[in-house]
A and B are shown apart, each in its own frame.
Chain A
Amino acid sequence: MVFMAGLDYFVCGSGHWPDVYDNNNNHNLLVCEAKTERSWLCFLVPGVRGGILSILEISNLSLSFGGVKALQDVSFRVPENTITTVIGPNGAGKTSLFNCISGFYKPQQGTIRYQGEVLAGVKPPARAAMGLARTFQNIALFRGMTVLDNIKLGAHVHMKSGLLSSLAYFGAARREEMAVRREVERHIIDFLEIDHIRRQPVASLSYGLQKRVELARALAMRPKVLMLDEPVAGMNREEKEDMARFILDIREEWDVTVLMVEHDMGMVMDISDHIAVLNFGQVITEGLPADVQNNPEVIKAYLGNSDMDSLRKKLNPQREVA
């Protein structure tokens, strides 16, 4: 386990839930005691924070494709400098919500406010320039480029060199490229521990490393809100722990708000400050991890209804009549 500066104490693992809340006003540290058989561990976890300022505010968002209602009247807010997670069963509309925020889908109703500004009509590249960065569920790296070029591409919106100076690779264009290279090397590649693969084409990397390169590319966009679509899906335990640590460090050191979609409940409960639960395109509930976890609606959405009578009625309504 690595303890990083800037992050207080954190141990990632699944199966232990925050138990005792000791909410300091300022830094908001949560003292959490492991509930499981590994109760000899006592953790300090960065806890609930933010609260007043929302960097992203989604109100009454509705999106449908023909008859399919992907999102219905979705409202929730992402407090600044938190890790906010959207959870929900498959097909609940989590990725559609991300695509709306990125500007790839245009919702029929509702608004998305980012730093108080309504995003409707802002094109995806402009949103990227405003500080909305994201990773994708099905890794969207550019296979024809090396790791380094993929990451540098993330800095695209913050670069200015035009075609003519690029053709000559002289003066401003060259200086800008070198500045980006320095920034990427010092702050991102070093931080995410991917210096050994920077020359490799991304297609040759393992799944876990590809996810990490995608995170690096998102960081190169100098985000204010970092949207992570299933950052640990398909990873082994060790890779998950690394990724969780990176996400926490990023929030601390880069002063970034993280908005995440994730299915790994252990990780979600461990590192989230705020959780919103989606089911069938609607927000069922939102709140602190512990609250969400014990919410009967959430349990129903994830595990299904245990009431057999109502299920029978649903499957075979005629018998009731007869």
Chain B
Amino acid sequence: MRIGDAKQTYEADEAIWTSPTQKFWFALFLLALLVFPLMANAYLLYLGCLVGIAVISTTGLNILTGFTGLISLGQAGFMGVGGYTVAWFSLNTGLPFPVTLLLAGLLAAAVGILVGLPSLRVKGLYLAIATLAASVFLHFIFAEWESVTGGMGGLSLEPAHLFGVTFQSDFRMYFIIVPLAVLMVFAARNVFRTRIGRAFIAIRDRDISAEILGIDLLRYKLMSFALSSFYAGVAGGLFAYFYRVVTPESFPLSMSIFYLAAVIVGGMGNLLGGILGAAFMTLIPEILKLLTAALTPFYPNAPVFMSPMLEIIFGALIVGFLIFEPHGLAEIWHRIRRFFSLWPFRN
């Protein structure tokens, strides 16, 4: 049972971490993130980087779809804009990675604002189709604007660099991706402590009354699109540095659906949900593959049966979560937390 956490000031009351216990666990988590690359093998490191990129992009989509209520199937397209921006600038200008990543985010945000323009008029599935169209359009540009994007062959780029340090290995990339992911999740958390975050949620819950209460719908919808695609652009840029090649096929439509699924499975309108969803969606296919490998000594035919089954099991897991935990993985987490903070009482 957590007691005695009365606050003296409003600042303390509105802090992100309101108790020493929370601070302790978070510090431990950060320490784990720091130690992880030192202990992990190449495969785990690779997965760690992928989860980091997915967390950034999912958080972005969560801002747009989960918090502002605007369904978007354009996330892969925005990531593509970021990826190509990073590739082009690092090939043509040799700028260091913080600059190229910022440019990737800003350019993606600009494209996001353009794509978001119909959102004032269309909502729900109609908006999903509008963003889908934008994503197809972007894909077409990636494939056809050969002088800039290199066409179907795409672009290969040099490793990220800063002050003479090059980040050519997964180990080094981890130290760009993960701190950036932590930083960007915190920035998103901050937005939802201020008037802008409240405006987003108000638009999601009741857009008409939000307007009458003084929220300029177009401005805030576009701001949400811009912020969301900025996150996607940075994630796409990291993706480019991580694989060091971008092609039109690096950012397929299924990737947009992947992130939408991550937001929904994790918990719409919940930043922690976005993180959990991103980790779930990235890791479950890998865990299923490991399971298959573990079964092979006992059932030599396991890969033959299991490999087509993987997708089905993955899909079934998603459906299962939607049915049994409609509020997402974040709700499971909250239940566990409630249990410990109320212990020894039940509720």
Q: Which of B10, B190, B205, B216 contacts A142 (CB 8 A)?
A: B205
Q: Is the CB of A156 within 8 A of B190?
A: no
Which A residues touch B214, using CB under 8 A? 124-125, 128-129, 154, 156-157, 221
Given A104-B208, A181-B10, A169 and B190 contact (CB-CB distance below 8 Å): yes
Q: What band does the interface of chain B fall in when counting residues whose beta carbon is under 8 Å from A?
A: 20 to 34
Interface string of A167-183 (1 = CB under 8 A from B): 11100011011100110
Interface string of A135-153 (1 = CB under 8 A from B): 0100010111100010011
Q: Which of A125, A144, A163, A217 contacts B211 (CB 8 A)?
A: A125
Which A residues touch B201, using CB under 8 A? 142, 144-145, 149
In the assembled complex, how far is the CB of residue A1 from the closest CB belonging to chain B, in whole angstroms?
Answer: 33
Which B residues touch A153, using CB under 8 A? 195, 198-199, 202, 213
Q: Is the CB of A163 within 8 A of B212?
A: no
Given A104-B212, A157-B214, A163 and B223 contact (CB-CB distance below 8 Å): yes
Which of A104, A125, A143 has most B Cβ within 10 Å?
A125
Which A residues touch B213, using CB under 8 A? 128, 133, 153-154, 156-157, 217, 221
Does B197 belong to the interface (CB within 8 Å)? Answer: yes
A145–B273 alpha-carbon span in the complex (Å) = 17
- The A-contacting residues of B in range 207-227, CB under 8 angstroms, are 208-216, 223, 227
A217–B210 alpha-carbon span in the complex (Å) = 11
Which of B196, B210, B223, B269 has most A Cβ within 10 Å?
B196
- Chain A positions near chain B (C-beta within 8 angstroms): 102-104, 123-125, 127-129, 133-134, 136, 140, 142-145, 149, 152-157, 159, 161, 163, 166-169, 173-174, 176-178, 181-182, 185, 217, 221
Q: Is the CB of A169 within 8 A of B194?
A: yes
Given A140-B209, A145-B198, A178-B10, A125 and B215 contact (CB-CB distance below 8 Å): yes
Given A104-B208, A144-B205, A163 and B187 contact (CB-CB distance below 8 Å): no
Which B residues touch A142, using CB under 8 A? 201-202, 205-206, 210
Interface class of chain B by DSSP: helix
Which B residues touch A181, using CB under 8 A? 10, 14
Q: Which of A136, A144, A157, A182 contacts B209 (CB 8 A)?
A: A136
Does B193 belong to the interface (CB within 8 Å)? Answer: yes
Q: Which of A136, A143, A154, A169 contacts B193 (CB 8 A)?
A: A169
A-B contact count (CB 8 A): 99
Q: Is the CB of B196 within 8 A of A140?
A: no
A140–B213 alpha-carbon span in the complex (Å) = 10
Q: Is the CB of B196 within 8 A of A166?
A: yes
Which B residues touch A161, using CB under 8 A? 194-196
Q: Is the CB of B205 within 8 A of A125?
A: no
A101–B218 alpha-carbon span in the complex (Å) = 21
Given A142-B205, A143-B205, A167 and B190 contact (CB-CB distance below 8 Å): yes
Q: Is the CB of A166 within 8 A of B10?
A: no
Which A residues touch B208, using CB under 8 A? 104, 140
Q: Is the CB of A168 within 8 A of B206?
A: no
- Using CB atoms, name the residue of chain A closest to B223: A163
- The A-contacting residues of B in range 112-128, CB under 8 angstroms, are none
A33–B189 alpha-carbon span in the complex (Å) = 58
A157–B187 alpha-carbon span in the complex (Å) = 23
Which A residues touch B161, using CB under 8 A? none
Which A residues touch B244, using CB under 8 A? none
Given A142-B205, A144-B204, A145-B198, A156 and B11 contact (CB-CB distance below 8 Å): no
Q: Is the CB of B205 within 8 A of A145?
A: yes
Given A145-B205, A153-B202, A124 and B187 contact (CB-CB distance below 8 Å): no
| New contact pairs (20) apart from A123-B216, A124-B214, CB-CB < 8 Å | A104-B211, A127-B212, A128-B214, A140-B209, A142-B202, A149-B201, A153-B199, A154-B213, A156-B199, A157-B214, A161-B195, A161-B196, A166-B191, A166-B193, A166-B196, A167-B187, A169-B193, A177-B193, A177-B195, A217-B213
Given A128-B212, A128-B214, A149 and B194 contact (CB-CB distance below 8 Å): no
Given A128-B213, A128-B214, A144-B269, A173 and B205 contact (CB-CB distance below 8 Å): no
A299–B223 alpha-carbon span in the complex (Å) = 52
- Using CB atoms, name the residue of chain A closest to B268: A144
A172–B173 alpha-carbon span in the complex (Å) = 34
A104–B214 alpha-carbon span in the complex (Å) = 12
In the assembled complex, how far is the CB of residue B63 from the closest CB belonging to chain A, in whole angstroms?
Answer: 11
Q: Is the CB of A167 within 8 A of B191?
A: yes
A127–B206 alpha-carbon span in the complex (Å) = 18
In the assembled complex, how far is the CB of residue A21 from the closest CB belonging to chain B, in whole angstroms?
Answer: 37
Q: List 10 A-B contacts (CB under 8 A).
A: A104-B212, A123-B216, A124-B211, A128-B214, A140-B209, A142-B202, A145-B205, A154-B214, A161-B196, A166-B190
